[in-house]
Amino acid sequence: MIAAHLPALQIVVPLVSAPLCVLLVKARLAYALALVVCWVAFAISVLLLGQVLDSGVISYRLGGWAPPWGIEYRIDPVNAYVLLIVAAIGALVITYAKPSVAREVGSGREALFYTSYLLCLTGLLGVTITGDAFNIFVFLEISSLSSYVLISLGQDRRALTASFRYLIFGTIGATFFLIGVGLLYQATGTLNIADMANRVAPIEGSRTVQAAFAFMAVGLAVKAALFPLHAWLPNAYAYAPSVVTAFLAATATKVSIYVLIRTYFTIFGHDFSFEVMTLGPVLMVLAIAAMLIGSTISIFQDDVKRLLAYSSVAQIGYMVLGLSFDTVLGVTGGMLHLFNHALMKGGLFLALGCVFYRTGSVNIEAMKGLGHRMPWTMAAIVAGGLSLIGVPLTVGFISKWYLLLAAIDSGMWWISIFILMASLLAIIYVWRLVEAAYLSPSPENAPAGEAPLIMLIPTWVLVLANFYFGVDTRVSVGVATRAAEFLLGAGS
């Protein structure tokens, strides 16, 4: 009985718990509730992935209304995989959150923090699970509005302007998506994604459909922070509370990339996206520019959170590069990097949260000698950094390997040069951290001592996952390949 309603519970549980957090008022109670809810959401996503892999696509009718009239939750190998990533990161980050939130958000606002966190999780899960184009917009705005709140809770006053800038960008992006959905509705008369996909194919030549494609592609590129539409991202990540940065960096842009994938491959189909609209070269150029420029800028950052934020811009380039090949190998590489980057950046930003918790700064100056003062935290940062570079035995290597294979497979071996160049740039910015932490003396009277265990354990779980999935690739590569085959098979 319950098993049949898992898709609805995935959304309803965090959505209903969010206002309960406000009513609980006390930080400890709100934290306990949020913790339980996030782990329940994670358990549901594991069960859903199991069901999808066993018995194929799940179609859930919300309120019993049959699609295409009612809203349908449709779970296939692609979004079951993304759901799992989002829910897993959500659960790990909330476990870590309590001491960090108490320090960075301040008393009296903690219950509200957990409310926004749960709403943001609801929105991200909702965008992923739904099979209705308008529903995507609604959930996208739920997650965005709550993330504006989360970012503005940062201590630095620049968090406010960063949040405001994100609000302007995010609203324009989401409204562009809405315009695209409207044009598609006009052309096809449906909002259900599966139904839309069938009806778009015969009217490919229509100017309305082409305009819809353009609006949706640009709007989602803003939300995903695809270069050159990434201007909102660095400040938003740099000044948000550490917990929020870790959560958003590992999930929010990934979900936008997922919607991009849905739009390109499922709604419009890859024949239309890549042959009629010639999306491939456009994405490829933007992706390579993102990889090189993002990595180069991050070398010159002194604020380590900002450094990693620019590195995120570069990593989004890798994901989009994978998509731009329009082959099973390429999309597998992109999907793999989506998963792997969530592990690396989640781990790295959580470790930085530990640094901030103890030293009150994440500037590179403040990290001098940190390797001796906070050995476990610093080791986590180095391990995450290795994964970011793509050293063998880490997940970063696996996804870059697949991207290289895809480039060679598509006959574009020269792209591998850009992948290698971006990796070399990553070595430079990771080395700056290593140099500061291990080869420079600590300033006098520097605070020493490790962060609390409750913060270190989730950090290390994510960091060790980087190595586990870097060695045992059966699960991650297997699921990503199935997702890619599903996407390209559905499109042709």
Partner 1 sequence: MEWPGLYNYWIVIFLMMAGLYVVMARANLIKKMVGLSVFQASVFIFYLTMGKVAGGTAPIVIPGNPVYSNPLPHVLILTAIVVGVATLAMGLALIVRINEAYGTIEEDEIDAQEHDS
Q: Which residues bind partner 1 (CB under 8 A)?
A: 134, 137-138, 141, 145, 148-149, 152, 157-158, 160-161, 163-164, 167-168, 171-172, 175, 178-179, 182, 185-186, 191
Count of positions (residues) in the chain: 492
Residue 303, beta-bridge partner list: 363
Least CB distance from residue 474 to partner 1, whole Å?
42
Which residue, 189 or 489, has its beta carbon nearer to partner 1? 189
Is 152 or 332 the residue whose CB approaches partner 1 more closely? 152
Closest approach, Cβ 188 to partner 1, in A, equals: 12
Minimum Å gap between C-beta 175 and partner 1 is 6
- For the CB of residue 189, give the shortest distance to partner 1 in the complex, in Å: 9
Question: How many Å apart are CA 95 and CA 173, to the nearest integer?
Answer: 31
Q: Is the separation of the CB atoms in 376 and 384 below 8 Å?
A: no
Q: Cβ closer to partner 1: 83 or 145?
A: 145
Nearer to partner 1, 166 or 227 (CB): 166
CB of 172 to partner 1, least distance (A): 7
Torsion angles phi and psi, residue 303, rounded to 5? -80, 120
Distance, CA of 213 to CA of 271 (rounded, Å): 13
Q: Which C-beta is closer to partner 1: that of 15 or that of 374?
A: 15
Residues 6+ apart with CB under 8 A from 109: 153
Is 142 strand, coil or helix?
A: helix
Token pair of 261 as six digits: 């994938």
Q: Which amino acid is at 358?
A: R
Nearest Cα neighbor of 115 from 31, 236, 214, 218 is 31
d(CA 268, CA 284): 19
Q: Given 3-state DSSP classes, what are the helix, strand and coil percentages for the chain, each rounded to the nearest 5?
A: 80, 5, 15
CA-CA-CA-CA torsion sign (174, 313, 380, 106): negative
Tell me whether residue 178 or residue 352 sits nearer to partner 1 (CB atom).
Answer: 178
Q: How far is the CB of 20 from partner 1 (least distance, A)?
A: 20
76 or 141, CB closer to partner 1?
141
The Cα–Cα gap between 231 and 227 comes to: 8
CB of 186 to partner 1, least distance (A): 5
